[in-house]
Amino acid sequence: MHNTPITFQSTDGQTITVRRMLPADVNLLVHIYRHLSEESLYQRFREPVANLPPLRILEEARILAEAGYTQGKGFLAFADMPGRPGTPVAGARYIRTGNKTAETAITIRDDFQKRGIGTQLLNLIIEEARKDGIRTLIANVDANNRAVINLLRRYPYPQKREHYGSEISISFDISQKPVNQPGELVRTAKAPGLRRQIPPGRNAKNVKIAQRGRR
């Protein structure tokens, strides 16, 4: 995927458009963060909302938007809402941590969770990371985030799990494409203005990237 947007249908039939994230997309990431519940914000930032100043959210969005462009790839998902076409509803990216390894994260605003968006974004991450020579993806997940943990368990890749306090680090080998990957990406022929379309699948809630040295 270069700069050509792709679309897919959520499990409830809404059209979701995905494009490459750019360093200038900081405010779009902030918009997504502002539509997270207190629980989702805690899982994302590891701090209670009361201790989370707006400048911290802005700075985090700036770092991720830049790193997702220069050190890996990032993506933004948009949906049309009443009176607000093209509203950002999710962000995903992977950032290289080594020659063939990368950390990955997906964040979806709460009112768009459980619609299959996370699964499709994770599939896109896996596809693009594999093209870039990544062999191992690492997701650092809150131990209480059972939705994400169960989703990753369903992916048929060799996995290794390590516990670090309230966090689980899940690494999975994506070097070989499995036959039965959930919600597998499907390419369409001559879709108007698009290169491919992704069918509906299940959801991944807040797959979190953690850079332990920055906590």
Of the candidates 196, 197, 20, the one whose C-alpha atom is nearest the C-alpha of residue 91 is: 20
- Angle in degrees, CA 186, 188, 190, rounded to 5: 165
Question: Residue 37 falls within a domain, yes or no?
Answer: yes
Rounded distance between C-alpha atoms, residue 175 and residue 187, angstroms: 20
CATH code: domain of residue 49: 3.40.630.30
Domain that holds residue 148: 6-214
Question: Residue 129 falls within a domain, yes or no?
Answer: yes
Rounded distance between C-alpha atoms, residue 141 and residue 168, angstroms: 5
Residue 184 has what pLDDT? 53
Question: Residue 108 falls within a domain, yes or no?
Answer: yes
Pull the structure tokens for residue 127: 């596809």
Question: Residue 1 falls within a domain, yes or no?
Answer: no
Rounded distance between C-alpha atoms, residue 75 and residue 53, angstroms: 25
The number of domains in the chain is 1
Burial class (CB in 10 A: 0-12, 13-18, 19+), 6: buried
Question: Residue 38 falls within a domain, yes or no?
Answer: yes
pTM: 0.78
Rounded distance between C-alpha atoms, residue 208 and residue 83, angstroms: 31
Question: Residue 155 falls within a domain, yes or no?
Answer: yes
Q: What is the mean pLDDT of each run of 10 residues along the chain (215 residues)?
A: 82 95 92 86 67 75 82 94 94 92 92 92 94 94 83 86 89 81 47 35 40 38
Of the candidates 112, 138, 119, 145, the one whose C-alpha atom is nearest the C-alpha of residue 46 is: 145
Residue 136 has what pLDDT? 96
Residue 111 has what pLDDT? 93
Question: Residue 76 falls within a domain, yes or no?
Answer: yes
Rounded distance between C-alpha atoms, residue 102 and residue 154, angstroms: 20
Question: Residue 148 falls within a domain, yes or no?
Answer: yes
